Amino acid sequence: MERANFSACAGFGFASKERQGIFGTFAAFQEMILSEITMARLNFCNVLCHFSHSGVDDMADNMCHFGQNNFFADNGLAEESSTQTQLFFPADVHQMTKVIERIFFEPGLRFVYSTRSKVPELLDKDGKPIYAGDRKFEPGCDDVVSGSGIPCTGYIVSYGDALYRSLDAVHRLHQEGIVVGLVNKCHLNCVDEEVMQLIGKSSFVVVVESQNTKTGLGIRFGTWLLERGLSPKFVRCGTHADGCGGMWEHAYHQGYDPESIMSVVRKVMA
């Protein structure tokens, strides 16, 4: 069913700037349309895709819905910026809105991920939603949520349902006198060179995600750092262990809950 529906969407958005297909299914079924994604990319099709049930947050389906490789959607050859495949995983409802508003009429293949469950709004120090109001989302730009303009010992890089947990950890570490920055990498497969230089010259970088540590952002981010001659201490936190179901307890089981993140930061600093 996924293969037929995605092919129909790609056909509707074939070689046209005026049309696009809109496709949605569970993230676990993304692997079923790999060949169709390749054909759509080769034919410059315009498809906006939403893959729900990504990550492990508050989701009791079963193990097939977490630990999968979402990143293989971007498995084509190097592409021109005008036709590149783009992957996005917003951190809360406000950022999701801003992402869709910004990329809706972009050409090419766009893949947007979310969990099934609600996640908390990301709030600033005044208790106001960070991504509400006039704040814009710009593809290719990482967002320094915490630590902008101040010297940070190191940085946490996160996205999606792991972001609010990382923000909690950062606030609590600040109370201990450990100044750690936090970067929201919503645009998963695009390098923000300015932010990369900022965090790459710090003493450590910790990538925190709900995706598989074998196939997620972490292994790519480490490569990006090395390619630019940047060599901070580097640690990955994410889904790596078996377990029954996919409820919120898995954040603790997998080790990307706030306490675990704080422990990792203390360890890498030591």
pLDDT per residue over 203-255, tens digit each? 999 999 999 999 999 999 999 999 999 999 999 999 888 766 656 788 888 89
Mean pLDDT over 72-92 rounds to 81
pLDDT band of residue 199 (cuts 50, 70, 90) is very high
pLDDT per residue over 133-178, tens digit each? 888 899 999 999 998 888 899 999 999 999 999 999 999 999 999 9
**Residue 17: per-residue pLDDT:** 76
pLDDT band of residue 79 (cuts 50, 70, 90) is low
Spatial separation of the C-alpha atoms in residues 4 and 10, rounded to whole Å? 10
Percent of the chain with pLDDT over 70: 92
Tokens 């090419």 correspond to: 108
Spatial separation of the C-alpha atoms in residues 202 and 198, rounded to whole Å? 7
**Residue 53: per-residue pLDDT:** 86
Sequence-distant (≥ 6) Cβ neighbours of residue 153 within 8 angstroms: 178, 179, 180, 202, 203, 204, 269
Mean pLDDT over 45-53 rounds to 94
Instruction: Judge whether residue 100 has pLDDT over 80.
Output: yes
pLDDT band of residue 268 (cuts 50, 70, 90) is very high
Instruction: Judge whether residue 80 has pLDDT over 90.
Output: no
Spatial separation of the C-alpha atoms in residues 214 and 228, rounded to whole Å? 22
Token duo for residue 58: 């508050």
> Which of 99, 114, 103 lies closest to 20, judged by CA?
103
> Which of 47, 185, 22 lies closest to 110, judged by CA?
47
Residue 90 DSSP SS3? coil
Tell me the pLDDT of the chain averaged across its residues: 90
pTM of the model as a whole? 0.94
pLDDT band of residue 192 (cuts 50, 70, 90) is very high
Answer whether 247's CB lies under 8 Å from 224's CB.
no
Instruction: Judge whether residue 29 has pLDDT over 60.
Output: yes
**Residue 139: per-residue pLDDT:** 94
**Residue 57: per-residue pLDDT:** 61
Overall residue count recorded for the chain in this entry: 270
> Which of 60, 66, 103 lies closest to 85, judged by CA?
103
**Residue 125: per-residue pLDDT:** 83
**Residue 84: per-residue pLDDT:** 79
Instruction: Judge whether residue 61 has pLDDT over 60.
Output: no
Sequence-distant (≥ 6) Cβ neighbours of residue 31 within 8 angstroms: 68, 69, 72
Q: Which residue would you say has higher pLDDT here, 37 or 242?
A: 37
- 109-113 and 47-52 beta bridge pairing: parallel
Sequence-distant (≥ 6) Cβ neighbours of residue 33 within 8 angstroms: 2, 3, 6
Report all structural domains of the chain as residue ranges with CATH numbers, in order of start.
2-113 (3.40.50.970), 143-269 (3.40.50.920)
Residue 211 DSSP SS3? strand
> Which of 80, 20, 76 lies closest to 47, judged by CA?
20
pLDDT per residue over 177-189, tens digit each? 999 999 999 999 9
